[in-house]
C-alpha cells in the first residue's frame, strides 16, 4: 500500500519535475559547464578554457559597470517603490473618497507590458519635443537630455520603473493590511494612541513579513527585468544604463559569445542564490518570532 502511494506520488510529480529539471536545474548547472569553454568554431569541438572566461570577466570594464549599474538601479528603485506602495496601500485601505478609482489608477501600470510603457515614456524623455523638457521649458529651466546624458540616463530609467512597480507592490501591502486584526486597533484607540503612533508601533511591525517578501521580489525584479532597455537606451549611452541581464543578452545574441554569456549568467545566478539564502534565513527568524 505504502509503496504504491510512493509510486503514484512520483508519477504525479514526474511531468513537473522533468520540466523543472530541464529548464531550471540542468541549465543552471550547464551554465557553469559552458562557462569553462571557449566558443566552438564552425565544425570544431569547443575548446576547454579553464578559468579564462573568468579572467576576462575580471578585466571586463563593461561587466563591472553593468554590475554597479544594476546595484544602483536596485538601490534607486526598490526602497522608493516600497515606500510609495505602502503609502498607496494605506490610502486605498482607508475610508478615502473614491478609493476604488484610486486603486485602479495605482494598479493600472502593473497590467501594461514594459515595452508599451517604454514606448510611451520614450516620448516623455525625448530631447527636443519631449514632454518633460517642455515642462522644464515652461518653468524657464534648461532642458535635459534625459536618456542621452550618462548622468541622467539611469535615473530616468529608475523613475519609470518606480512608476511601473509601485502599484504592483501595493497589492501585497493591501492584502496584508486587510488581514490585520481590527481588535488590536480598537484596543490602541481605547488607550488613546495617536494615528502616527498606531502606524509606527502596530501597523509597521505587523507588516514586517510582507515588507520582507516585497523586498525580495523587488530586488529580484531589479535583476530580471530589462525589457525597457531595448526601447529606451539599449544599454547606452556608453553602457551607462547597461544591466547584467541585458549584457548577457548582448553577449549571447548580438556578439555570439554564448560561453562568455554563460560566465555572466553564473555571476547573476550566484547573486540570486545569495539573495535566496538571505531570504531563507530571515524567514526562518520570522517563523520563530511567530
Partner 1 sequence: MTNRLTRALTTAAAWWLGLLWIMPLIYALWAATHGAQFTTHFDPFAPLTGEHFVTAWQQAPFVTYMLNTLIITGLILAGQLLLCTLAGYALARMPFPGRGMVFALVLLQLMVVPEILIVENYRTLAGLDLIDTPLGVGLPYMASAFGIFLLRQTFKGVPQELEDAARLEGCSRLGVLWKVYVPLAKPTYLAYGLVSVSHHWNNFLWPLVVTNTEQSRPLTVGLAIFGAPESGVDWPVICAGTLIAISPLLALFLLFQRRFVHSFMHAGLK
**Which residues are CB-neighbours of 257 under 8 A, at least 6 positions away?**
39, 251
Closest CB to partner 1 among 105 and 187? Answer: 105
**Which residues are CB-neighbours of 120 under 8 A, at least 6 positions away?**
none
Closest CB to partner 1 among 51 and 101? Answer: 101
The distance of closest approach from Cβ of residue 200 to partner 1 in the complex, given in angstroms and rounded to an integer, is: 16
The distance of closest approach from Cβ of residue 153 to partner 1 in the complex, given in angstroms and rounded to an integer, is: 15
Question: What is the rounded distance in angstroms from the CA atom of residue 149 to the CA atom of residue 66?
Answer: 17
The distance of closest approach from Cβ of residue 196 to partner 1 in the complex, given in angstroms and rounded to an integer, is: 11
In 3-state terms, the chain is what percent helix, strand and coil (to 5)? 75, 0, 20
Q: Dig out the grid coordinates for 47 from the structure.
A: 575548446
Closest CB to partner 1 among 24 and 68? Answer: 24
The distance of closest approach from Cβ of residue 78 to partner 1 in the complex, given in angstroms and rounded to an integer, is: 16
* DSSP-based three-state secondary structure for 48: strand
The distance of closest approach from Cβ of residue 184 to partner 1 in the complex, given in angstroms and rounded to an integer, is: 19
Q: Dig out the grid coordinates for 176 from the structure.
A: 496584508
Closest CB to partner 1 among 202 and 231? Answer: 231
Closest CB to partner 1 among 154 and 160? Answer: 160
**Which residues are CB-neighbours of 223 under 8 A, at least 6 positions away?**
70, 74, 243, 244, 245, 268, 271, 272
Amino acid at each position: 500500500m505504502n509503496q504504491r502511494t510512493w509510486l503514484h506520488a512520483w508519477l504525479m510529480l514526474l511531468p513537473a519535475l522533468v520540466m523543472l529539471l530541464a529548464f531550471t536545474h540542468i541549465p543552471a548547472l550547464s551554465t557553469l559547464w559552458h562557462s569553462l569553454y571557449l566558443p566552438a568554431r564552425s565544425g570544431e569541438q569547443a575548446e576547454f578554457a579553464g578559468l579564462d572566461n573568468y579572467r576576462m570577466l575580471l578585466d571586463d570594464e563593461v561587466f563591472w559597470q553593468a554590475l554597479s549599474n544594476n546595484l544602483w538601479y536596485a538601490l534607486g528603485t526598490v526602497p522608493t517603490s516600497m515606500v510609495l506602495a505602502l503609502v498607496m496601500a494605506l490610502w486605498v485601505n482607508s475610508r478615502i473618497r473614491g478609493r476604488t478609482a484610486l486603486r485602479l489608477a495605482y494598479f493600472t501600470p502593473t497590467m501594461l507590458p514594459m515595452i508599451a510603457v517604454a514606448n510611451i515614456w520614450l516620448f516623455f524623455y525625448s530631447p527636443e519635443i519631449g514632454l518633460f523638457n517642455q515642462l522644464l521649458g515652461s518653468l524657464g529651466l534648461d532642458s535635459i537630455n534625459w536618456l542621452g546624458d550618462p548622468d541622467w540616463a539611469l535615473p530616468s530609467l529608475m523613475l519609470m520603473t518606480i512608476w511601473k512597480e509601485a502599484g504592483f507592490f501595493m497589492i501585497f501591502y493591501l492584502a496584508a493590511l486587510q488581514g490585520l486584526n481590527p481588535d488590536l486597533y480598537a484596543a490602541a484607540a481605547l488607550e488613546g494612541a495617536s494615528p502616527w503612533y498606531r502606524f509606527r508601533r502596530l501597523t509597521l511591525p505587523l507588516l514586517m513579513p510582507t515588507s520582507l517578501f516585497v523586498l525580495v521580489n523587488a530586488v529580484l525584479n531589479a535583476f530580471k527585468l530589462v525589457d525597457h532597455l531595448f526601447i529606451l537606451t539599449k544599454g547606452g549611452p556608453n553602457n551607462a544604463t547597461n544591466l547584467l541581464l541585458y549584457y548577457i543578452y548582448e553577449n549571447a545574441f548580438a556578439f555570439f559569445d554564448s560561453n562568455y554569456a554563460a560566465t555572466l549568467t553564473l555571476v547573476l545566478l550566484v547573486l540570486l542564490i545569495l539573495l535566496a539564502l538571505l531570504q531563507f534565513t530571515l524567514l526562518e527568524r520570522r517563523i520563530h518570532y511567530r
